[in-house]
Amino acid sequence: MGMFFADDRYDESRRMEGFQRYKQLLSFYAGRWVKVNLLTTLGALPLGLGIAFSILSSSVLVLIPASLAGGAIFGPFLAALYDSIFRGLRDAPGSWWEHYRRSWKQNGRASLLPGALAGLLCGMYAFMLYLLWSASVLPGWSTLAVGLFSAVLFCVLNLLYWPQLVLFRQSNRERLYNIVLFTLKYFWRVMGTALLLLVYFLVYLLFAPWTLILVPFVGLWFILLVCELLLYRQLDAAFKIEEQFVQIEGDPWRESTC
């Protein structure tokens, strides 16, 4: 049984396609992703508390160091979540805890700086939303459009940067270069997926604090799964993910049918 849909009518001995693949992934890996998401939520607490304290104190001087430090703490947790999702997308064998520990060893140090920068941007967006909410006069439509567009670009950066970090050994310059080329090649799909991610987070904000109850269980892993699944075929074509990792991990579908 998958989330929201019954998924027991397909052949589990082979990899499905389209919506059946979505249900298959939920059937196989939803349990482990909930566990990883719980750990990710714990890792996000310092960032969330730091941003909340800076907003309550209306202090940018508190926001900057709190966001940087909280983001650096959150970085390895977020990398481990992306690693778990992509291991599921390529059906990597092994236990979730083994994969989680391996991700921390392989990606922990490399994720500190991007985590800090992502935390800083999250803090700035949160502080900006607070200022808009408390302002007596709303800014013009052009200002709101620029803010939304920058938020979409931030979502694009997250959806394409972190998979490269957990999958390949590259420099940050190479990752950013790949992001630009991939976005240009698959522009509408990338932008649509980033917009979906942004709308998801906006819904959480609009219905807070009730939606905070769902964060430990559904909050981050579910939307990342949907977005990365929508991009996975293009990512695999661009980076040869399956071709590279099948040599290391083997082909689980071939093994299951032997």
pLDDT the model gives residue 11 = 59
Q: Is the pLDDT of residue 137 over 80?
A: no
Q: From the DSSP assignment, how many helices (H) and strands (E) are in the chain?
A: 10, 0
Are the C-beta atoms of 229 and 21 separated by less than 8 Å? yes
Task: Write out the two tokens for 33.
Answer: 């992703």
> With 60 as the cut, is the pLDDT of residue 7 above it?
no
Confidence of residue 6 (pLDDT cuts 50, 70, 90): very low
Q: How far apart (Å, rounded) are the C-alpha atoms in residues 105 and 206?
A: 37
pLDDT in tens, 138-162: 677 777 888 889 999 999 999 999 9
CA dist., res. 204 & res. 52, Å (int): 16
- Buried/exposed code over 210-245 (b: 16+ C-beta within 10 A; e: otherwise): eeeeebbebbbbbbbbbbbbbbbeebeeebebeeeb
Residues 6+ apart with CB under 8 A from 114: 75, 161, 162, 165, 172
The pLDDT, as a whole number, for residue 92 is 87
- Kindly state the tokens that stand for 248: 């290391």
* Angle between helix 18-56 and helix 96-107 axes, rounded to 10 deg: 50
Residue 111 carries which DSSP code?
Answer: T
Question: Residue 254's pLDDT band (boundaries 50, 70, 90)?
Answer: very low
Residue 97, SS3? helix
> Over pLDDT 90: what percentage of the chain?
62
The full set of domain ranges for the chain reads 18-132+139-250
Range 179-183 average pLDDT:
96
pLDDT value of residue 136: 65
Tell me the pLDDT tens digit for each residue of 31-77.
999 999 999 999 999 999 999 999 999 888 999 999 999 999 999 99
Q: What is the mean pLDDT of the chain?
A: 87
- 35/218 Cα distance (integer angstroms): 10
Rg of the chain (C-alpha set): 19
